[in-house]
Structure 1
Amino acid sequence: MTQGISRRQFIAASALASTAIGGASNAQPTTRGSNAVLADQTFEQGAWCHWLDERASDVATGVTWGMPWPRSKHSPRTPFALRDRDGKRVPLQTWPLAYWPDGSLKWTAHAIAPDVTLTSTAFQIEPGQKGPAPTTALKVKQDAGTIEVDTGVMTCRVLRNGAVCIDSIRRGGKDLLTAGRLIALRQNMPLEEADSTVSVETFESMIESAEIENEGPLRAVIKITGHHSRPKGRRWLPFTLRLYFYAGADDVRVIHTFVFDGEESRDFIRGLGLRFDVPLVDELHNRHVRFVGENDGVFGEAVRGLTGLRRDPGVEARQAQVAGRKVTSIGPKVADGLELIPAFGDWTLLQPTADSFQIRKRTGLGHAWLDSSRGGRASGLGYIGGPSGGVAFGIRNFWESHPAQLDIRKARTERAEVTMWLWAPDAPPMDLRFYHDGLGQETHEKQLEGLNITYEDYEPGFGTPVGVARTSEMRLWLLDATPVRERLVQLAAAVRAPAAMVAVPQTLHQAGVFGGTFALPDRSNAKQVRIEEQLDFLFDFYEKQRDQHSWYGFWNYGDVMHTYDADRHTWRYDVGGYAWDNSELSTDIWLWLYFLRTGRADVYRFAEAMTRHTGEVDVHHLGKFAPLGSRHNVMHWGCSAKQLRISTALNRRYYYFLTADERIGELLREQLEAARTLRTVVPERKLPEAQDRVRESADGDYARLGFGTDWGSIAGAWLTEWERTGSREMRDRLVASMRSIGSQPRGFFTGGGRMNLRTGAFDISKDQALNVSHLSAAFGLPEVCAELIELLKIPEFERAWVQYCTLYNAPSEQQKAALGESLGELNLGQGHSRLTAYAARMKRDPALARRAWEEFYAGRAGFAPDQRFETQRITGPAVMNAVDEAAWVSTNATAQWGLAAIECLAFTADLS
């Protein structure tokens, strides 16, 4: 059932727009972020997209994004064109991302090159039209040993084997970058004892495959996979490196992923990064080093400085060197003694914490470092080169993902060496060991006792980091000369917040994607105004909490905390299962639905960071727990509850379809057979009632799944694959599982069953007992069921789900009448009001819609109806740093309240 946008909704939403898209292209984005519900009624129809920050970036880069389409609207053969509001069309590359069941396009991916001039802020995707041919087209060629990409500005040569991934990048007939390879430093032990014998080994990338993952006239993606290794030695830390190229571009976007497969007690990563060489031909005084600090601060010096000398080289020489221009004339008294001026070959920008960085330099190995500058939060961009060309290089989320480091070495020689350290070697080594010794919890009984005290689900051997991953983003610019400082600031901004194109909320809503689970903001009455203000408050609160409580760091950035400790005025970062949230109760989905309806840039980037984190760090990608995720814990991987509800594809779908991101697509596909791991990692293994249950064969065709957190998650993976590829196998699994759930004696109230892993069908239970959990619908089940019921007409499944939605929060008398007995006291009543609202939509029942709102405002296991959405300022000496406290907030309640508010508004819009 696809809901269209009503005129009332559109007008009310339009009145709220913070700015009308199409304004001045140089308008600065607001601190709060974009509210892109469009104010111009010409956008009411058609497929529109816009710059996320409501302005074109100062640095033109290639951009890729996804666009949704209504069912049965466009065939896969439909051409598309991109035009701005003035009617100008630009070259566009298009490919399909997803299909509706009838084979029509549901999502398409689009790419534009950086060499087009886009002065508008909003654009229409025109079906049935062909855009102009690109003035510059990518050229990709390959042979058995290499892949070569020519953007028209630069040429990159990628190798298919050996340690070097990027053999060279040339511009203007000159090599500006060579020998690009990955580096990992391994330390054998932490520095915990004075007499420890510490050794450090260096590993370099060893390529196992290099392939063209995407190729077109405007965009190409090269995927390189392998391990870090030593000559004739150990191979470990599998990696994936993706290189993104666009026609006419002078930059390369780099996406780096690695998986930890070591032993946490002896494999301490001391450094991890990308290293390359930069050939230098300019004189030492014409070699320029740059680092961009905080905001628009730039550190700029030369390898051999000409300023501050006792003898004056001349004003033109001094000004040219400081500006980064070629020094063509030096006063004779200085020119004759250049060799007596120290030349500094080594430079480092180190960001050891979220709030401080340091810049140092030295003449070379064996000599002391000089402290050069310092600051708070560096942008993470560096440069080495001269008037003959050079390379700007940057790490995204540099300070947020500390410790990070940029190194320039050997700048006095003909070949400087640059390393972008994702984990800084000048910081303490990475320590992934579990944070306690087990506390004597050797039996399931003791572990359950510990769970009752600290909420930590501990089990020996389960708190391992083996299999967790981390994805990072870097960018390289190959430049024909040293940029002016203002340009470096712009490049740094492009690293921090890359240009992004997104579909506008109206287009997303009109397309009917994501099961109609969101509607555009409507402030036509006081009650809805209050809900919108509260939704805004909660997101703004978490964004501020991230900064005040420093939810930053290589392994932490992107996640939020689970529960607050009002006594200490801090989140429970050190208490068992109350620390990192790990997607508990669908935090990810709340944020994405909130973005889809508002278009806010700050929400997008917050949700983007969370998607990167929760899909990588909170999931085991290899080893015995793969590909399951880990429940909330002090350590992201620490909980012994390894579950589908955390690794679920449902948390990644939004970002994938909005961006066409290849790594996220890989993670979605990783989940297709995740249920097989439940044969050996049984979720309910500790429960007394499960002890006598017959275990499934570790290599058999069956596993036991709950209909909520387990099946909802695997159904999300199958649905996504079916949409992406039209896979008959995935569709058949969905149909079989849906039919068998609908045929259970108690429907969804049966709770779960034994599923055939090949077919997806559940055994039909002979047990008439009711089995219901408050968590079943708290991890994406309502959202995936809403989509599936629209896509697959399976009456028995629809009846079972609508029954569950109707009865979960129903009065006990109604439950007894329908089921023969009451369901008793169930939790998360407020969050489940969205189920009641969904039932109201499906039944077209205004009385059910009113009941849904009554449940929402009753606040059971959520936020009370009289709760004031406000914070209290806590200052020293009660706290180390001042915080804005809302002790009434928990992330469980926030996520469920947010989902309930958004979906109750969507499902009951036409029933009030």
Structure 2
Amino acid sequence: MSSSSLTRREFVRRAALAAAAAQLFASSRAAASPVSAPAAPLRLPPGAAPVRWLDGKTPGETIGNTWGVSWPRGQYPRDTKFALRAVGGEAVPVQSWPTAYWPDGSLKWTAHAVPADAKPAEAFELSAGEPALPSRPLTTTTNADTITVATGVIEAVIARRGDVLVKTIRRDGRDVLKQGRLVLQRQDKPDAGVAIESFTGRIEKVTVEQAGPVRAVIKIEGRHAAVAGTREWLPFIVRLYFYAGGEAVRMVHTIVHDGDEQKDFIRGLGVRFEVPMRGALYDRHVRFSGQDAGLFAEAVQGITGLRRDPGVAVREAQVAGRATPPLETWSPAVSQRLQYVPAFGDWTLFQSTADGFEIRKRTREGFTWIGPARGQRAGGLGYVGTPQGGAAFGVRHFWESYPAQFDLRGATTAEAEVTMWLWAPEAGAMDLRGYHDDMGEDTYAKQTEALEITYEDYEPGFDRPEGVARTSELFLWALAATPTRERLVELAGVVREPPVLLTTPAHLHLCQVFDGLWAPVDRSTPARAAVEDQLDWYFDFYHGQREQRRWYGFWNFGDVVHTYDADRHEWRYDVGGFGWDNSELSTDLWLWLFFLRTGRADVFRFAEAMTRHTGEVDVHHLGRFAPLGSRHNVLHWGCSAKQLRISTAANRRYYYYLTADERVGDLMREQIEAVRALVRIQPGRKLPAARHAGDLARETPSDADHAGVGFGTDWGAISAAWLTEWERTGDPKIRDRLVASMRTIGQQPRGFFTGAGIMDLDTGAFAISKSDKVSVSHLSAVFGLVEVCAELIQLLDVPEFKKAWLDYCELYNASPEEQQRRLGQPLHGLNLQQGHSRLTAYAAKLTGNPALAKRAWREFFRGQGGIRRRGKLAAVRVTGPAVLRPVDEADFVSTNATAQWGLAAMECLAVTDRSLPANGD
């Protein structure tokens, strides 16, 4: 059925859906955070989706935007075209493409892009229709050697081979940026003073992923090659994003570590361009953004503050960044002595920590540096250029991902060199070695014993950064002239917090994406309000802890720490498995569900940073452990437990569908065959066979086509990857593997309580166990299994699977008597009963059993295996000399418990809200 040929029944159905969406959209605004949405309610036409700015206001500057929108099942067929309109205004050009389908083939998620020069509007409405075209459509032209992208304002020529990625970016027929390349420095030892070897990125493959008319995406893959030598290493993936009418390029830069951490010490990692410099030295300008609205602004050759005055008009022009008046109008006392005024060709901004940066300049190499400025947190934007044109450049999360550095070299010459260092050379070598020796842990028995004291699952050779990745976001502007100071501050704001378009919590909920396990914020009763307040408190606490505890750094930003040490008033950053969280007990899911229901900008950005980190740094993307993730540890890759539960696509789906981010799409696709890694690395290899239970297969197949797979954390991750790929592509082979695995879990003698099985990796089917022994683990359901099973049951009709899952949900927290009656024995060794209350709630929803709903809330408020604290939550301010600097302490908070409490609270509210006790008890 095409979008233009609707039956009357279908039209009425869609109109009813749209009316409900408008009502939900309006009501959600009253409950949402003030920064979450525009203030005025919207009336949407039938079938339309609301689109809003994440920060609740129209941005002053944008480089173009891409976002995702969900649709109810059956509303729009896959070939539907979409039109965008400013609410109460005119049509806006838009480019659209599908990102997921419902099982009937209708659109589930779509992605949309608007031009950089789209007319600003407070909010938009998206609906079926013919899209408006940009006034200056983007074009992409490919030939044997290059790809040329023209936005209507700038033209970028991208190489298809060699060690120059971007040959030139032109504006008005003139080069503004040239010779764009990746740069890398390495040394053999971590010590200062050793020889440094230089590398440059060499192209192996270039792909045009999108070609316009609104948005173009060019993907470049390769490795860093020695400038003097033959070695190639450190694979990279760079994506360049262009928008119609735009003067900016967004770059998403990824490296994958494949070196030997004992001798490959990265000294510098960055992106370098040349910027042609036109005009006199006194008309060349350098700018660096500082903290907040701060800006450092000087000229290469300053003519203010001299002993003689060139004239007010001359001084004012230079300070403002405009062309100075003709030299003959200057005071001769200055114009005739300009050759004696120093010109500074080299400039550096170095952000050494999250708390400090410095700016230095010198005339040229061989002469000393002078330090004109220092500050706390640089804004991540720089500029070099003249009134005839120049380049602004930025690195997002500049200070959060320290050490970072900007270098400008040769600003007095015909071409300045700009390097955006993602790892600052001045910081010294990047050291990725293990943080301790093996301490005698040379057997599994000793490693298991050590786990009892530090909670660290150590194994020699497993604490290597083999295949870990890091993604950074950079921006480039080809500008016609030196911008005003005010505009540079706006550009710095784009670098810090790029404007984001999204739909609303109400619309997402109406579409029943992620199977309704969440609902928009509702404070309609005191009991609900109390739970909502507690949800807010926990997020706000962690948001504040990131700042107070300085959870920042190139390899760390985006993560939180696992557990607190009240004696030291410090999180246990240095105690084995209590260090970095690495997604343990679904921290990512807690944050994303919290965002879906609140729409809060601060939550989105916190969750976004975590998705970037946990998907890249906590996962091995090549090598022995690929594509598994690493369990929580002092080092993100330090634990020997390499597991699917960390690399799971379940943690990435939310961000991907909301933003259509291509890199995160790659990460999820990486996981499609991740189950095959279990042939090489068995999660339970260190445990005696008698203790294999829950997620651990009791047998290890001897061939490469079968693996022991746990029905909990293992299969939950596998099914999330297969579900996502099936949604994205409609591939029937992926669906068949998914269904086969579901059906054969349901056919096990004890269903999910069988615990594990041998999977045929080609078909996805499990061998049916000949034992009816009951096996259960408290970890099985707390790494996304709840959420993925809900979606699978929503999408696929596999009755035996549904029954097996509902049995598990009902019985995990059931009384020993009920477990005995249904399973022939009570369950032992259980934990995390509070987190599992959401399983009980889900069973109540699907069975319509009010007794189960009431039981779910009893389990939740009892807090067994979770958070027992009730009443008003409060942190205690701790000051010196007990701590280095004042901090807010809540020693009752742990990340595991918080994530599980948050998920249980949100999901119980969503599916059993009417059973919530009036007194919240």
Are 1:650 and 2:650 an aligned pair?
yes
C-alpha contact (below 8 Å) 2:29/2:41 kept by paired residues:
no
* Superposition map of 1:323-338 within 5 A: 323-328=320-325, 329=327, 330-338=330-338
Query: 1:198 matched to which residue of 2?
Result: 194
Say if 1:112 and 1:15 are closer, same or farther in 2 by CA, change over 3 A. closer
**Partner-residue secondary structure (3-state), 1:635:** coil
C-alpha contact (below 8 Å) 2:447/2:459 kept by paired residues:
yes
CA RMSD after TM alignment: 1.9
- Provide the rounded CA distance (Å) in 2 between the counterparts of 1:679 and 1:243: 37
* Superposition map of 1:332-347 within 5 A: 332-347=332-347
Query: 2:785 matched to which residue of 1?
Result: 781
Query: 2:3 matched to which residue of 1?
Result: none
Equivalent residue pairs, number? 892
Q: CA deviation at 1:37?
A: 9.4
1:383-414 Cα deviation digits (max 9, x unpaired)? 00000000000000000000000110011100
**Partner-residue secondary structure (3-state), 1:426:** helix
Q: 1:753 aligns with which of 745, 757, 761?
A: 757
Q: CA deviation at 1:13?
A: 8.8
Query: 1:803 matched to which residue of 2?
Result: 807
Q: CA deviation at 1:77?
A: 1.3
Query: 2:503 matched to which residue of 1?
Result: 503
C-alpha contact (below 8 Å) 1:559/1:610 kept by paired residues:
yes
Q: CA deviation at 1:281?
A: 1.3
Q: 1:285 aligns with which of 278, 282, 303?
A: 282
Are 1:269 and 2:274 an aligned pair?
no
Any gaps of 5 or more consecutive residues in structure 2?
1-12, 693-697, 917-921
* Superposition map of 1:657-668 within 5 A: 657-668=657-668
- Provide the rounded CA distance (Å) in 1 between the counterparts of 2:113 and 2:807: 44
- Provide the rounded CA distance (Å) in 2 between the counterparts of 1:96 and 1:263: 41
Query: 1:125 matched to which residue of 2?
Result: 126
Query: 1:210 matched to which residue of 2?
Result: 206
Are 1:50 and 2:55 an aligned pair?
no
Query: 1:26 matched to which residue of 2?
Result: none
Say if 1:38 and 1:319 are closer, same or farther in 2 by CA, change over 3 A. closer
Query: 1:617 matched to which residue of 2?
Result: 617
Deviates more, 1:829-838 or 1:57-66: 57-66
1:261-284 Cα deviation digits (max 9, x unpaired)? 111111110100000100111111
C-alpha contact (below 8 Å) 1:190/1:429 kept by paired residues:
yes
**Partner-residue secondary structure (3-state), 1:802:** helix
Amino acid at match of 1:362: R
C-alpha contact (below 8 Å) 1:183/1:273 kept by paired residues:
yes
1:778-827 Cα deviation digits (max 9, x unpaired)? 10000000000010000000000000000000011111110000002410
Are 1:689 and 2:698 an aligned pair?
no
Q: CA deviation at 1:131?
A: 3.0
* Superposition map of 1:4-23 within 5 A: 17=29
C-alpha contact (below 8 Å) 1:751/1:771 kept by paired residues:
yes
Amino acid at match of 2:540: D
Q: CA deviation at 1:314?
A: 1.4
Query: 2:235 matched to which residue of 1?
Result: 238
Amino acid at match of 1:67: V
1:665-695 Cα deviation digits (max 9, x unpaired)? 0001000000111111110000011699654
- Provide the rounded CA distance (Å) in 2 between the counterparts of 1:874 and 1:43: 50
Q: Output the TM-score relative to the length of structure 2.
A: 0.95
**Partner-residue secondary structure (3-state), 2:540:** helix
C-alpha contact (below 8 Å) 2:277/2:416 kept by paired residues:
yes
Amino acid at match of 1:40: P
C-alpha contact (below 8 Å) 2:35/2:55 kept by paired residues:
yes
- Provide the rounded CA distance (Å) in 1 between the counterparts of 2:565 and 2:20: 43
Q: 1:731 aligns with which of 720, 728, 735?
A: 735
**Partner-residue secondary structure (3-state), 1:416:** strand
Query: 1:858 matched to which residue of 2?
Result: 862
Amino acid at match of 1:108: T
**Partner-residue secondary structure (3-state), 2:43:** helix
- Provide the rounded CA distance (Å) in 2 between the counterparts of 1:331 and 1:500: 50
Query: 1:248 matched to which residue of 2?
Result: 245
Query: 1:24 matched to which residue of 2?
Result: none
Are 1:713 and 2:717 an aligned pair?
yes
Deviates more, 1:53-62 or 1:723-732: 53-62
C-alpha contact (below 8 Å) 1:47/1:126 kept by paired residues:
yes
Query: 1:848 matched to which residue of 2?
Result: 852
- Provide the rounded CA distance (Å) in 2 between the counterparts of 1:491 and 1:783: 39
1:540-575 Cα deviation digits (max 9, x unpaired)? 000000000000000000000000000000100000
1:43-94 Cα deviation digits (max 9, x unpaired)? 6974111010111211122100010000111101111111122042111101
1:868-896 Cα deviation digits (max 9, x unpaired)? 42111111111001111110000000000
Query: 1:220 matched to which residue of 2?
Result: 216
Query: 2:818 matched to which residue of 1?
Result: 814
**Partner-residue secondary structure (3-state), 1:81:** strand
C-alpha contact (below 8 Å) 2:44/2:125 kept by paired residues:
no
C-alpha contact (below 8 Å) 1:12/1:524 kept by paired residues:
no
Query: 2:402 matched to which residue of 1?
Result: 402
Q: CA deviation at 1:749?
A: 0.2
Say if 1:13 and 1:818 are closer, same or farther in 2 by CA, change over 3 A. farther
- Provide the rounded CA distance (Å) in 2 between the counterparts of 1:6 and 1:686: 55
Amino acid at match of 1:54: G
C-alpha contact (below 8 Å) 1:280/1:416 kept by paired residues:
yes
**Partner-residue secondary structure (3-state), 1:710:** helix
Query: 1:28 matched to which residue of 2?
Result: none
Q: 1:771 aligns with which of 767, 775, 780?
A: 775
Q: CA deviation at 1:700?
A: 1.4
**Partner-residue secondary structure (3-state), 2:427:** coil
- Provide the rounded CA distance (Å) in 1 between the counterparts of 2:72 and 2:101: 10
Q: CA deviation at 1:36?
A: 3.8
Query: 2:6 matched to which residue of 1?
Result: none
Deviates more, 1:396-405 or 1:226-235: 226-235
Amino acid at match of 2:438: G
Q: CA deviation at 1:866?
A: 2.8
Q: 1:71 aligns with which of 66, 70, 73?
A: 73
Say if 1:710 and 1:33 are closer, same or farther in 2 by CA, change over 3 A. farther
Say if 1:690 and 1:230 are closer, same or farther in 2 by CA, change over 3 A. farther
Say if 1:268 and 1:453 are closer, same or farther in 2 by CA, change over 3 A. same
1:292-314 Cα deviation digits (max 9, x unpaired)? 10011111111111011112111
Q: CA deviation at 1:35?
A: 3.4
* Superposition map of 1:368-767 within 5 A: 368-689=368-689, 695-697=700-702, 700-767=704-771
Amino acid at match of 1:578: F
- Provide the rounded CA distance (Å) in 2 between the counterparts of 1:803 and 1:258: 45
Are 1:312 and 2:309 an aligned pair?
yes
Q: Output the TM-score relative to the length of structure 1.
A: 0.96
C-alpha contact (below 8 Å) 2:95/2:131 kept by paired residues:
no
C-alpha contact (below 8 Å) 2:37/2:53 kept by paired residues:
no
- Provide the rounded CA distance (Å) in 2 between the counterparts of 1:248 and 1:673: 40
Any gaps of 5 or more consecutive residues in structure 1?
21-31
Amino acid at match of 1:909: D
1:487-545 Cα deviation digits (max 9, x unpaired)? 10000000000011011001100011001111111111111000000000011000000
Q: CA deviation at 1:15?
A: 5.9
- Provide the rounded CA distance (Å) in 2 between the counterparts of 1:735 and 1:789: 11
Say if 1:44 and 1:428 are closer, same or farther in 2 by CA, change over 3 A. farther
Say if 1:825 and 1:13 are closer, same or farther in 2 by CA, change over 3 A. farther
Q: CA deviation at 1:910?
A: 5.4
Query: 2:298 matched to which residue of 1?
Result: 301
- Provide the rounded CA distance (Å) in 2 between the counterparts of 1:467 and 1:843: 45
Are 1:893 and 2:890 an aligned pair?
no
**Partner-residue secondary structure (3-state), 2:635:** coil
Say if 1:905 and 1:9 are closer, same or farther in 2 by CA, change over 3 A. farther
Say if 1:440 and 1:759 are closer, same or farther in 2 by CA, change over 3 A. same
- Provide the rounded CA distance (Å) in 1 between the counterparts of 2:296 and 2:870: 52
**Partner-residue secondary structure (3-state), 2:728:** helix
